[in-house]
Amino acid sequence: MTITQRTLGSTLLKVDNISLAFGGVKALTDISFEVKEHEILAIIGPNGAGKSSMLNVINGVYHPNNGSVTYKGVQRKQMRPHEAASQGIARTFQNIALFKGMSVLDNIMTGRTLKMKAGFLSQCLYFGRARDEEIEHRLKVEEIIDFLQIQSIRKTPVGRLPYGLQKRVELGRALAAEPELLLLDEPMAGMNIEEKEDMSRFVLDVNDEFGTTIVLIEHDMGVVMDLSDRVVVLDYGKKIGDGTPDEIRNNQEVIDAYLGVSH
Amino acid sequence: MFYREAGQFKTSYQSDQAVFPIFQDRIFVALWLLAAFVAVPLLANEYMFRAIFIPVIIMSLAAIGLNLLVGYCGQVSLGTGAFMAVGAYAAYNFMIRADLNPLICFLLGGLCATGVGVVFGIPSLRIKGFYLAVATLALQFFTDWSFSRIDWFTNYTPSGSIAVQPVEVWGFVFDSPLRKYLLCLTVLVIFTVIAKNIVRGRIGRSWMATRDMDVAAEIIGIRPVYAKLSAFAVSSFFIGVAGALWAYVHLGSWEPLAFDINVSFSVLFMVIIGGLGSIVGGMLGAAFITLLPLFLNQLPLWLGFNMSTAMVSHLEFMIFGALIIFFLAVEPLGLARLWQLAKEKLRLWPFPH
Amino acid sequence: MGFFVEVLISGLMAGVLYSLVALGFVLIFKASGVFNFAQGAMVLFAALTFVRLLDILKDTFAPIMLSLLITIVAMVLLAMAVERMVLRPLVNQPGISLFMATLGIAYFLDGFGQTLWGSDIYTLDVGIPKDSIFILESVFEGGVLVASEDLIATVIAGLLVVTLAIFFQKTRIGRALRAVADDHQAAQSIGIPLNYIWVIVWTVAGLVALVAGVIWGSKLGVQFSLSLIALKALPVLILGGFESVLGAVIGGLIIGAGEKLSEIYLGPYVGGGIEYWFAYMLALGFLMFRPQGLFGEVHIDRV
Amino acid sequence: MSEVSIPRSREDTLPALLFKNAEVRGKKTAIREKDLGIWQSWTWSQVSTEVAYLACGLAAKGFSRGNNLAIIGDNRPRLYWSFAASQTLGGIPVPLYQDAIAEEMIYVFNDAEIEFAIVEDQEQVDKLLEIMPRCNKLKHIVYDDTRGMRHYDNPALISYDELRQLGQQYLAEHADFLSRELDQCRPDDISVILYTSGTTSKPKGVCLSHKACIDVASGDMSFDGYKDDGEILSYLPMAWVGDHLFSYAQSIVAGFTVNCPESSETVMIDMKEIAPTYYFAPPRVFENLLTTVTIRMEDASNLKKWLYRTFMAVARRSGSEIMDGKRAPILDRVLYAIGNLFVFAPLRNNLGMSRIQCAYTGGAAIGPDLYRFYRSIGINLKQLYGQTETLAYVCKQPNGEARLDTVGSPMPGVDIKVADKGEILVKSPGLLKEYYKNPEATQESLTEDGYFRTGDAGFVDQDGHLKIIDRAKDVGALTDGTMFAPQFLENKLKFFPFIKEAVCFGDKRDNVTAFINIEMEAVGNWAERQGLGYSGYVDLASKAEVYDLLAECIEQVNADLAEEDSLAGSQIKRFLILHKELDADDDELTRTRKVRRGFVAEKYGVLINALYDGSDDCFIETQVKFEDGRTGNIAATLAIRDLKTVAAPSALAA
């Protein structure tokens, strides 16, 4: 059987000479790269290379000391995370940031918040707009639950779930926002082989079914090389490599700085 | 054990998202309402209404209100007394100056509380946890002072204390304990439904998200400003109305200290003991905290030795303190959680899990 | 002018006492991250215990020494009880529920103390001279009138602050305590068990409470209202910052002075009694601009 | 969903009845599927619309009378509809097991000359695309779930929704098309081909007619008296005759509701939600259920454990009787009522069995404890007997006559004959029409007077219940011609805890004798309780007391056998206790612990002779392999014991 190759679009996200420092500590120095629509870009690098900080800059948790982020052609200086969200940027976290007190369903539902418009009064009465909205969005959420194959834990409080499933739920919450750009911070950290395989499958499916552009941080070289179209390598807050998996594999500087030491 | 859920399947999201999806629960709630609206009025005597039911109901309302803020949105407030005071005094002033329908005045009282709540909620955008708690204390002291020192609020009554006529709506006078009881009960039921609707919807989720992990919440697009301020607003509205009822229906006459910091604390205790983040919890807590002193007062008599009232009140303090610590350590989710666990057990019976 | 200075000084002296209570907060917060609402209750408890023991032991050879000793023991026991029954079960709970737990402690102590020692007003006399004296006569004509007990109190408080500062900066334990505040693992790595540290801190806080209690007690008499001065100390903390000993002192002085001055100079316009809330409003306003307080540390929350 | 004019037909065929349901109970729910968190439901009229569209879609793609439609996937409404759709067009649905290996699939696809296949999802599509080169007829593959399919551009592929679209148009253009097609369907037409997974030979396609399905369905209905208000959970493979009968044919004929679980992991949850009124499961399913129950009760609080133990004891005593309205001690009735409140009802509730009117099991023998358990907690579990060729319609246990050792009495319209060697011959309304394109197989499976050879040996007991005792080929006969079913006897013996293995002899001899292996542990414990010393297996096995003990057991068996005319003759006359355990290492057992009759007979020939020549004991020396692989000899003189036999009732009468 033949499978049609998917094509990358124009530039979706562009970061220019981003530098970020906490007090005296330099987290990022003068980082630039771009992400094309529908692309899967992996950011790799040793611990403390500033990978997470990079994501935090992209969705506005941190504000770079200098440099700029251009998203969908709009260059921006300051942006709050929720603004980033409304622009279609969603993310997951290195150490799971689910809402422990809520069920899987509610957690994913929160991902729909931006899409819900019902007024306060109709919520008080849970009537009309509010109720219809709840149902309409429940449907969407159920589709995601179905997509991630977590039907059996739908109503379980997330606190009770094993680690791997929590990661899945968190991905679900991000997907619920129907993002155009999805930032995944070590989606497979601490997973066993088959969990990793599942997760990789989901990441590919997301990218494929919904055409979502994905920027992910990952330590497992195997995974990175399989999943990503392009790889950006950071080391001590500096970019030391940027290219296709193969190019990266053969990039001497990268090998010294990272692959060499880690494997 | 008595939950027989087999065969209760849902064919629509509406029925699946119902407040009481389980048939047996619906029965149970119906029975409660029946008891509250029919059995109690038939059986209870004056004392019970005055000393037990009315205060418990009004405090439930306040506790539910505070729980929305503390339990659902995770913003600790020690200013409950203040909000109640605002509600009470505002209602009073609307009544004597605008001469509106008392019920309207109660709601307006609530709205004033809302206003104050939002203003004093603003710090919550910058500060968290106990910093915020302290900030709300500021409100507490400020209102204490205002209502005792600014005579306009008290309509220049020399003593500074206020006495009011029984509530009269469209010629119907709520003077007998029974009528007062029914009035409060109705209000409580309505507000409970509203509270439940809010917390099960978008707003409620954004509150809980903010509570559980505010950074993540903001990153998925929940604006902290809205989440926190709306929580403050709704919460203080509930509490304000409760305050108005407390003053008008329960006390009838009161001086500024009726709403001092101890009220704030005891409502907070109701929420903690009752169960953070649970509507039922508010009611359970209110009942518990209100009834415990009565019980403690009776206990010595039953045991056949008498104890000075001072001693009793000291014991009360100790027991409250101990209970708070106990619940926080053993069951942070309070009575409501215990109830919920029991229910789980019954549903799975005879299986343990 | 003289009058102003007189008000100012009396304010500052009151402030010193605030900071004394605030110190208790700071110690515990630094070392265990707990916002100890019970500090006021501890003051009351300590004072009550002391004054009643004094009464009981008045015929012994050294009543003051003895009762002081016993009270100290009591405070140590209290610290242990708190560690065992509150901190240990609640370890790793969010700070806010620990805070509410201390509310519980406060209630319990108030109740317990009064059940044990009764709830009247007891006059406490540890021989601090009560007469007033004139100082700074050279500066203003007529000089400035101050109560000598306030002076002494100030001196004692000052000494206490200095010792604590040294304790924290120089001694091994003190440094350990600071480490605990920063992060628990670090503390363990220093080799001092956490529980042990907690006990120490609460003991120290207890002693500070005792001192504060004795001074306030001898000033106003030992009574329930003592536990309320804790509430007065809160704004001090906000002003000074929760983690800073120095902050507690400065904050205390500012609040104390500000309160008195505002009462004298603003009070009349709004019907007086504003010292009741002035401190809080001051702190609140301050919060908006500098949430971490004067000497507090800034926190970046990572994701 | 828009209504379409419902096609009618004079003839009673499954699709015709389905469309009739749309008229007589159009608003009633026909099928549900747990999907996206709730039970999506379709009424009969909606179903008929769907079927109509699907049928037209298939027609538009060129599917027509005489074509076969392969159906592969989990139980999904759309797949059930494709049965009806193909039948409407006079085509024949051919369900396949979704986990079948490639080889098997290829065989079926070629054997049934399948052009059209309708499958559940990507997984199945991949499988088919893989075997497509070797299935030259296969032209069109319809898939239901579009997930992951976007990049498949194989021309053979079309999604269900696209097909439905086509159908909608096609129907618009050919208004009365369906009625015409439906009218051509005859009750005797083949309605479905079910392939029996041949363990030895190639799979055979069992062809069943509309008439067979309908008659069987209505037969079952009248037998168990269920109507269109029933609920069943369809979770067993669609290619299996049971599911085709219960979830498809019967639901159409009776008009009750079929429920498709969300996924294989959630079957238990879904079962609880739906609480079916009618339930079938093979013994292993019931076994797993019971295991989970016991395990979960393990970590229950002591109070609960106590309740459970106490009341289960009561239930085991008289639960089944109480359910069947038979006589039970009044005290037990009271206790049972209490137990029902605290244990049984909650248990049924948690198993999702609280609404079950009757539950069936079959296909294999069900263990006594298992059977007892479910009946005793008030679940009307019964056994049925049948096979694909008879549309699982031969015998069922009537309510109140459920017994462990029978499979019930013949169903209405079923005629049973017992041939020589006790083989059971069946004539049933559900009888297969033929094996697909396999006349000789059809030939040998049917007797000239049209009975089906089940290949099972058994007999009908006094109360007219059928007892299955063995595969016919294993059954022998004594010299006087009485049937001799070794396995049956051996199983009976092995119900005793003291007996580990038993080997019976008797074929072409004038009476039955047996080798016994004692269960070391059980007998050992018994011996200790008796204060009976022994030095080891051989010693214990040779003790006279042990012989007495076992003699008792076997004589009980004899007593049972005497009850049945046909078996009375095969009572055990003499037995001996082997001095060693039969062992797979010595090739006496298969690895699955089945006795190698022939091998044993030859190896212990001496003993068998001794059993028949009337001697009281016999010396034997056998070589054994030890754990460590060394070989050694065990020698012993084995006593031989005569046994009392009971005269058959008929003999008494005579």
Within an 8 Å CB–CB cutoff, is residue D154 touching chain A? yes
Report the phi/psi class of residue D593: left, alpha or beta, with left for phi > 0 and alpha for psi in -120 to 50.
left
Nearest to B130 among C35, C109, C280 (CB): C35
Which amino acid does the sequence have at B31? Answer: L
Asked if residue C269 lies in contact with residue C249, where contact means CB atoms within 8 angstroms, the answer is no
Question: Does residue A93 sit at the C interface (CB-CB below 8 Å)?
Answer: yes
Q: Can you give the pLDDT at residue D304?
A: 92
* Interchain pair A22, C300: CB under 8 A: yes
Tell if the CB–CB gap between D269 and A146 is shorter than 8 Å. Answer: no
Give the side-chain half-sphere CA count within 13 A for A23: 5
Q: For B292-311, how does the pLDDT look when each residue is reduced to its tens digit (9 = 90+)? A: 888 888 888 888 777 788 88
The rounded distance, in Å, linking the Cα atoms of D69 and D55 is 11
Checking if the pLDDT of D432 tops 90, the result is yes
If contacts are CB pairs under 8 Å, which of residues 88-107 in chain C contact chain B?
A: 89-90, 93, 95-97, 99-101, 103-107
Give the mean pLDDT of D189-199. 85
What are the b/e assignments for A152-174, b being 16+ CB within 10 Å?
ebbeebbeebeebbbbbbbbbbb
Query: What mean pLDDT comes out for the span D48-62?
Result: 96
What mean pLDDT comes out for the span B236-254?
Answer: 95
Total count of residues recorded for chain B: 353
Q: Do A151 and A218 share a domain, yes or no?
A: no
Residues of chain D with CATH 3.40.50.980: 14-274
With a cut of 70, say whether residue C301 has pLDDT above it: no
The answer to whether A158 contacts chain B (CB < 8 Å) is no
Q: Among A141-150, B238-247, D360-369, D506-515, name the one with the lowest average pLDDT.
A: D360-369
pLDDT tens figures, C154-185: 888 788 878 887 887 788 777 777 666 666 55
* CB-CB under 8 Å, A143 with D36: yes
Flag the least confident range among A20-24, A107-111, A134-138.
Answer: A20-24
- Residues of B (261-280) whose Cβ lies below 8 Å from C: 261, 265, 268-269, 272
Do A189 and A82 share a structural domain? yes
User: Which positions ≥6 away from B101 have C-beta within 8 Å?
Assistant: B169, B170
Parts of chain D belonging to CATH 2.30.38.10 = 397-473
Contact between chains at B220 and A120 (C-beta distance less than 8 A): no
Q: Does D616 touch chain A (CB under 8 A)?
A: no
Physical contact, B and C (3 or more Cβ pairs within 8 A): yes
Q: Name the closest residue on chain B to residue A170, using Cα atoms.
A: B216
What's the pLDDT tens digit per position in B21-34? 999 999 999 999 99
pTM of the entire predicted model: 0.86
- Answer CATH for B48-348 from 1.20.1050, 1.10.287, 1.10.3470, 2.30.29: 1.10.3470
Residue B76 C-alpha, separation from nearest chain C C-alpha, in angstroms:
8
pLDDT at D647: 77
Q: Which of A200-214, C109-123, D105-119 has the least mean pLDDT? A: C109-123
Which chains form contacts with chain C, at 3 or more CB pairs under 8 Å? A, B
SS percent in chain B: helix, strand, coil, step 5? 75, 0, 25
Cβ-Cβ contacts under 8 Å for C213 (sequence gap 6 or more): C43, C44, C45, C46, C47, C48, C50, C222, C226
% of chain D residues with pLDDT over 90: 59
pLDDT in tens, D470-520: 888 888 888 888 888 888 888 888 878 788 889 999 988 989 999 999 988
CB contact under 8 A, D154 and A1: yes
Alpha helices in chain A, H assignment, sequence order: 51-58, 81-86, 104-110, 120-125, 129-147, 163-176, 193-209, 221-227, 245-249, 252-254, 260-262
Q: Which of the pair, D540 or D650, is modelled with greater confidence? A: D540
Q: Search chain A and give the residue with CA nearest D150.
A: A209
Place C143 in a pLDDT band, splitting at 50, 70 and 90.
low
Considering only A177-191, B148-162, D39-53, D379-393, which range has the smallest mean pLDDT? B148-162
Residue among D131, D151, D267, D269 with most chain A CBs within 10 A, to mutate? D151
Name which of A126, A139, A167 to mutate to probe chain B: the one with the most chain B Cβ atoms within 10 A of its Cβ: A126
**C190 phi and psi angles, rounded to 5 deg:** -65, -20
- pLDDT tens-place string over residues A105-133: 999 999 999 999 888 989 998 888 899 99
* Residue A89 pLDDT > 70: yes
Q: Are B72 and B275 in contact (CB under 8 A)?
A: no
CB of A65 less than 8 A from some CB of C: no
Measured between CA atoms, the residue of chain B closest to residue A134 is B201
Q: Does B84 score more than 70 pLDDT?
A: yes
Check CB contact under 8 Å for B9 and D347: no
Q: Which of D110, D87, D83 is nearest to D203 (CA)?
A: D110
Instruction: Identify the closest residue of chain A to B227 by CA–CA distance.
Output: A113
| pLDDT band at A262; cut points 50, 70, 90 | very low
In terms of domains, do A64 and A127 share one? no
pLDDT in the model for residue A259: 55
* Chain C residues near residue A93 by CB distance under 8 angstroms: 303
Q: Given an 8 Å threshold on Cβ–Cβ distance, is A52 in contact with C300?
A: no
Residue A260, pLDDT > 60, answer no
- Predicted local confidence at residue A24, as pLDDT: 76
Q: Taking CA B310 as the corner, what is the angle to CA B63 and CA C64, rounded to the nearest 5 degrees? A: 115
Range of the domain at A193: 11-88+179-262
C5 pLDDT more than 70: yes
Looking at residue D400, its pLDDT comes to 86
pLDDT tens figures, A30-81: 999 999 999 999 999 888 788 999 999 999 988 998 899 999 988 887 788 9
Across D541-558, average pLDDT: 91
Answer with the one of A112, A133, A162 that is the final residue of a domain: A162
pLDDT of residue A56: 92
Kindly state the average pLDDT of the residues B49-78: 95
Task: Give the chains touching D; criterion: ≥3 Cβ pairs < 8 Å.
Answer: A, B
CATH for D14-274 is 3.40.50.980
Rounded mean pLDDT, D154-169:
95
pLDDT at position C142 is: 63
CA distance B120 to chain C (A): 10
Q: pLDDT higher for D100 or B1?
A: D100
Please check whether residue A219 is in contact with residue A48, taking contact to mean a CB–CB distance below 8 angstroms. no
Contact B138 C291 (CB under 8 A): no
The pLDDT value given to residue D20: 94
pLDDT of residue D2: 45
Q: Give the closest of B6, B13, B352 to D349, CB-based.
A: B6
Of A112, A129, A162, which residue sits at a domain end? A162
Q: Which residues in A lie closer than 8 A to residue B206 (C-beta atoms)?
A: 110, 113
B234 sits in the region (left: phi over 0; alpha: psi -120 to 50; else beta) called alpha
Please list the residue range(s) of chain D that carry CATH number 3.30.300.30: 475-653
Q: Percent of chain D beyond pLDDT 70? A: 97
Neighbours of chain A (3+ CB pairs under 8 A): B, C, D
* pLDDT for C185: 59
Chain A residue nearest residue B13, CA to CA = A135
Residue indicated by tokens 């969990």: A195
The nearest alpha carbon in chain A to D125 belongs to A1
Give the residue extent of every domain in chain B.
48-348
- pLDDT of B211 > 70? The answer is yes
Which CATH number fits the domain that encloses residue A207? 3.40.50.300
Per-residue pLDDT, A263: 42
C59 pLDDT tier (thresholds 50, 70, 90): confident
**D touches C, CB cut-off 8 Å, minimum 3 pairs:** no
> What residues in C contact B127, CB-CB < 8 Å?
287, 291
Q: Please tell me the predicted confidence (pLDDT) of residue C141.
A: 63
pLDDT of residue A1: 39
- Does D295 lie at the interface with B, CB-CB under 8 angstroms? no
Average pLDDT of span B308-328? 87
Number of domains chain A contains: 2
Q: Is the pLDDT of residue B328 over 70?
A: yes
Which positions in chain B touch D355 (Cβ < 8 Å)? 6-7
Q: Decide if B220 touches C, using CB distance below 8 A.
A: no
Gap between the Cα atoms of D560 and B141, Å rounded: 92
- Quick one: CA dihedral C29, C31, C36, C38, positive or negative? negative
Average pLDDT along chain A: 89
**CATH code of the domain made up of D397-473:** 2.30.38.10
B314 interaction partners in chain C (CB closer than 8 Å): 110-112, 114-115, 119
pLDDT of D525-534, one tens digit each?
899 888 888 8
Q: How confident is the model at residue D653 (pLDDT cuts 50, 70, 90)?
A: very low
- The pLDDT of residue D275 is above 90: yes
For residue B87, what are the CA distances in angstroms to B95, B117, B248, D493, D643?
Answer: 12, 11, 11, 85, 97
Residues A186 and A251 in one domain: yes
Chain B residues with beta carbon closer than 8 angstroms to that of C267 = none
Rounded to whole angstroms, how far apart are CA atoms B257 and B236? 19
At D200 the pLDDT is 59
Amino acid D654: pLDDT = 38
Residues 61-120 of A with CB under 8 A from B: 61, 80-82, 84-86, 90-91, 93, 97-102, 106, 109-111, 113-114, 116, 118, 120
- Convert the pLDDT of each residue in B266-275 to its tens digit: 999 999 899 9
Mean pLDDT score, A166-176: 95
- Minimal CA–CA distance to D604: which of D629, D576, D627, D574? D576
Confidence of residue D649 (pLDDT cuts 50, 70, 90): low
Asked if the model's pLDDT at residue A5 lies above 80, the reply is no
Candidates 3.30.300.30, 3.40.50.2020, 3.40.1280.10, 3.40.605.10; CATH matching D475-653: 3.30.300.30
Q: In the prediction, which pLDDT does D474 show?
A: 80
Nearest CA in chain D to A206: D148
- Inter-chain residue contact C303 with A22, CB threshold 8 Å: no
Whether A208 and D37 lie within 8 Å, measured CB to CB: no
Please state which of the ranges A20-24, C133-137, D278-282 shows the lowest mean pLDDT.
Answer: C133-137
One domain, residues A148 and A40: no
User: How far apart (Å, rounded) are the C-alpha atoms in residues C197 and A244?
Assistant: 54
**Yes or no, beta carbons of C86 and B329 under 8 Å apart:** yes
Q: Chain-centre distance of CA A68, in angstroms?
A: 20
